[in-house]
């Protein structure tokens, strides 16, 4: 069986501007970080991997499936956590939010609800079952979105700026939870320190790979360049 993800010669233009032009990447490591300045293409790369955005040309495969064409496979193979949980949460209660994805995968309602109850119990969050999603704090909403992703048991978990807006204890708890995941993780962030210990880091600049390799040297080069740019801007 194919594992991991692969982009082959991916090109994408948005509003007349090229975002990617011939990007090819084989993504097999268990923990991969994405860094890069605003607009460098991190979120778009995650959306391509989730099959939410189709490339203009080239292919994006996850676990062997063409995720832009095979939506069912994409939902099964890939889970994505957006930066803003408000873009992800659509149901009035925690139970409905968590059960929705499972029902989409074909689980009967009763089974999906039982799976949700079990998932919350493992997290020590049984009290969340009937709770209104609107009553959750930002950090709790972020955790709910992560649980919704994990409930689907995808092989690949994509995380877009998962720590933004979280207080330090909440961010550290989330970081520990993510570190413990058995799945493959690809995480885009402006906080390079959260990628320490990752197997691989890819630095994107204007849709191109500036550097790609072990976390230590890539992050060191990235930080040095960001400091140089800050100096150039006279900050």
Ligand X SMILES: Nc1ncnc2c1ncn2[C@@H]1O[C@H](COP(=O)(O)OP(=O)(O)OP(=O)(O)O)[C@@H](O)[C@H]1O
| Contact between 165 and ligand X per CB under 6 A | no
Give min distance, CB of 128 to ligand X, in A: 29
Write the binding mask 80 to 109 for ligand X: x where contact by CB under 6 A, - elsewhere: ------------------------------
Which strands, in side-by-side order, build the sheet including 17-27?
17-27, 5-14, 57-62, 65-66
The least distance separating ligand X from the CB of residue 170, rounded to whole angstroms, comes to 21
Note whether 15 binds ligand X by CB under 6 A: yes
Which member of 1, 38, 180, 233 binds ligand X (CB under 6 A)? 38
- Cβ-in-10-Å burial (0-12, 13-18, 19+) of 40 comes to buried
Nearer to ligand X, 101 or 207 (CB): 207
Of 173, 209, 180, the closest CA to residue 197 belongs to 180
Nearest to 183 by CA among 159, 156, 160, 146: 156
In whole angstroms, how close is the CB of 189 to ligand X at the nearest point?
A: 9
Among 4, 39, 64, 155, binds ligand X (CB under 6 A): 39
Check binding of 72 to ligand X (CB under 6 A): no
Strand 208-213 versus strand 200-205 pairing type = antiparallel
Q: What is the DSSP letter of 164?
A: T
**Residue whose tokens read 């072990």:** 214
Residue ranges in contact with ligand X by CB under 6 A: 14-15, 17, 19, 36, 38-44
């Amino acid at each position: 069986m194919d594992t991991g993800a692969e982009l082959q010669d991916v090109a994408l233009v948005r509003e007349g501007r090229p975002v990617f032009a011939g990007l090819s990447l084989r993504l097999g490591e268990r923990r991969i970080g994405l860094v890069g300045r605003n607009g460098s293409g991190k979120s778009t790369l995650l959306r391509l991997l989730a099959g939410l955005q189709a490339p203009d040309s080239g292919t994006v495969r996850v676990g062997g499936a063409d995720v832009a064409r095979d939506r069912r496979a994409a939902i099964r193979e890939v889970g994505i956590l957006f930066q803003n949980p408000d873009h992800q949460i659509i149901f009035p209660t925690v139970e409905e939010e968590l059960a929705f994805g499972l029902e989409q995968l074909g689980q009967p309602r009763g089974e999906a609800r039982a799976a949700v109850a079990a998932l919350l119990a493992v997290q020590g969050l049984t009290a969340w079952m009937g709770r209104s999603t609107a009553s959750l704090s930002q950090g709790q909403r972020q955790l709910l979105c992560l649980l919704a992703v994990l409930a689907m048991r995808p092989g690949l978990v994509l995380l877009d700026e998962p720590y933004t807006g979280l207080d330090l204890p909440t961010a550290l708890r989330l970081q520990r939870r993510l570190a413990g995941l058995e799945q493959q993780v690809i995480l885009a962030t402006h906080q390079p320190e959260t990628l320490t210990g990752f197997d691989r880091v890819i630095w994107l600049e204007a849709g191109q790979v500036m550097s790609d390799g072990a976390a230590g040297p890539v992050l060191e080069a990235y930080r040095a360049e960001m400091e140089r740019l800050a100096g150039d801007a006279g900050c």
